[in-house]
Structure 1
Amino acid sequence: MKLRRFSLRVRIFLSMILLVLIASVLIAAVTIYQYNQEAQAYHRDRLERKEENIKRHIDFVIRGTTWEVITEKVRLILKDKDEIYKIADIHQSQIDVYDLEGGLIISSKSSIEGDATTECLSANILNALSNTAEHRFVEKTIFNHQTYQSSYTYINDHKFKPIAILKLPYLENDEFLNKELNEFLERLGYAYFFMLILAIMLAYFLSKYITKSLNTISEKIKATRLEKRNKRIEIESSSEEIATLVRSYNSMIDELEESAVKLATSEREQAWREMAKQVAHEIKNPLTPMRLSVQSFQRKFDHADPDVYQKLDEYSKTLIQQIDTMSSIASAFSNFAKMPAQQNETLNVVEIVKLALDIFSEDYIVFVADEKEIISKLDRTQLIRVVTNLVKNATQAIVDRKDPKVVVSVMSEQDMVKITVSDNGKGISEENIPRIFEPKFTTKSSGMGLGLAMVKNIVETYSGTITFTSQKGRGTIFTVIFPKE
């Protein structure tokens, strides 16, 4: 039976067991390989140390001899006072000395079983010694299931001229390392046996939990009713749980709730855009002639009443102020309805955000930047508009605080620019959170409620995102993320 025919619960169970088994095999293999590498390095280093120490001892003997230091006298030098036997005994190693033609000159008693001292070295060994930069050659042989290494190197006179060839046989005794490896593998086996038992128990309860969750999801989907039906999902073969989930989806889910919410939000925003265009058009038409008429009337009016000018001046100022208010309302609607054409400029976001904060005189506004320069392609005016709207909202949220604080930060995250505006104000209530970006929604007694909706429109125009987190009574953090390119 194919694996896909098994239930999801069985797949999870088998996967976890297989994972533990594969991990145990891989770790055991890596351990054996590592031990073998360490053993080879240990024998290689030990032979090199032994060779170096014996060569130093022989050099000491040569420096103290009265014989002429030449190849023909090497046997006499090393045999004098039984020096070769002393060296072999001190270093616990057999020593064979050959002349430069490969003929045996002198040898200590063989201490390694199975190692036969040859009377003449092969041409390969002689060539390797003379042609390599180290003037050293190591030969590895196997005898009676035991591995032997023999190193060959030159013995030099006082002027570093070769006078003989030194051979050091060495037995690779791995009994201690093999014993240590076996003990480690045994302990590893106990550990993984325990892990296997634990994995079986964990897989059982985890698979049971996951399949229970899937069944719960299936029941939730069955309880959902939407008017529009989506394309059906067709799967020829699957596990029992997945098949149940797909059948529930095909029979009950016709429209995603998230899509419906997005569609409704889009329709509301479109309606407000159309209304904003009409309101802006109707209000802006009479504003300019009204302002010109009032100003002209103010300049030309002349009457004997000494107070009439003051009254007319106050009236004119009041009327102009109201006209300006109407103009700002119309501009707010117009800005929301149709954003200015996008102008991509290469900007230093840190500098622009700092510039946007210059219009605020409050001491509790703090600016923080991780870097002095963060470059991105944005519209200068619209970026300033985003920052000023968010900071203005933050300052309005902390009017009742004894220790108000607004922190504006700019940072770079890989290929994105992140701007955060945080305050320690009253926060946003849970019922208002879903509506915070809706046009004309406001919790203030004044204002049109278009600020955050306009900010969201600008941010999304540049393929960015705006999110927020809020805690009632502790403050709110708005986060804007723009791509750098």
Structure 2
Amino acid sequence: MKTNKLSLRTRIFFTMILLILGASILIGILAVIQYKEEAEEYHSDRLLRKEDQIRDEISYVLDRTSFEVITSKIPIILRENSDIYRIADVHKLPIKVYDLDGNLLVSSKEGFVADTSDSQVGESVLSGLANSAGKRWVVHMEKDGVKYQSSYTYINDNQFKPLAIMNLPYIQDDDFITRELDEFLRRLAEGYLFMLLIAIGLSYFLSRYITKSLKTISDKMIETRIDKRNQRINIDDASEEISNLVKAYNLMIDELESSAAKLAQGEREQAWREMAKQVAHEIKNPLTPMRLTVQSFQQRFDPEDPQIKQKLNEYSDTLIQQIDTMSSIASAFSNFAKMPAQQNETLNVVFVTKLALDIFNEHYISFAADRNEIIAKFDRTQLIRVVTNLVKNAIQATEGVAQPQIRVEVKTDEDKVCILVIDNGSGISEENMNRVFEPKFTTKSSGMGLGLAMVKNIVESCKGSITFTSRVGKGTVFKVSFPKVEI
């Protein structure tokens, strides 16, 4: 799992949990290190205290003996009244005394530890003891998992001259300290477990609180659209960073609304300009022959001409024809601008489609339906307009075809009504397929290219769709689909 794909809320939650766990582990490690250092220091101090006490007691025995205090007499003096055994028993430590050359003189308990029961002290210990500043040497060792310290120090006479070397083997018993450490770690674990549970709860609510404002902003930004009015964000008691983000978003919304209004106004103005250009262009086309007809009539008018009536009729027919053309232009633009009626009626699509085809006299137009009655909600006038426009396009597409054929079918497809207009005309080229429903687009020498755009507008306003398939030289199939009504 990649962390960069986690939500901010999840990152905050896991970060706080990891901080608690990391802190507990770090404190546990430091506690173990601290306990080990304290244990070492405790054993070293304890051995030093024992060493000072035993050396003082031995010095006391030497001061009160009747024997000559020399190195060779040490075993006799310490064994005279079993002093070495008494001292070792009181301090719970074995005691060994060597001469200055490292040879064993006397021991309170033979064979205590194999490593320290030898009768000879090693040269390294003698050298270390002689060269140490405090005239004391400690050897650390471990056997079978048990740690030992063995200290070597001088026994001096009353003139502070070395008489012998005292050795104290000491076992580092860490059971008590280990129990203390285990108890401390157990309580630490319990405390941090309790803190971890509290941290989980706090991090959950804290992460929700932190990300709540960000989620609100995120949801608003996702809903932001340039084609609708967007709501400003109002968040109370937000942090400075969140407040700055909210202000930036609200400022962006204001600028977006202003830009959208300017854009919409510009698009409307551009649409009107384009429409005005198109209307002017289409009106100029019939005006030119009308002007030429009138001018010709003025120049050639002769009241005495015996064919004056015939010529006047010809001039009048030309003018009427051009006037009709201008009327059709005005009707086409009017129909394109008019939105389909929103109050639909329940009607029989089969009957209305047949009714729309009655105005055509072409013998090659045929009709078929898979049912006698297919009910849908559609405006009757608009449905007739859709069918007649598609059939007119099919008639124009089949001009020049030797055996033209146009077939209109009404079918049902699950919960849809489908009207198909099929022709074997010239078809639509691939480069023109994406422009078929564009206003003003036409491949014909006459017409304004508004018919299919109007059909698409009508069908989509009734929650329907219009599609087509075409092959050049083979023909075209237009398919209109819209919801039907179950009886």
Smaller-chain TM-score bracket: 0.3 to 0.5
TM-score scaled by length of structure 1: 0.45
TM-score scaled by length of structure 2: 0.45
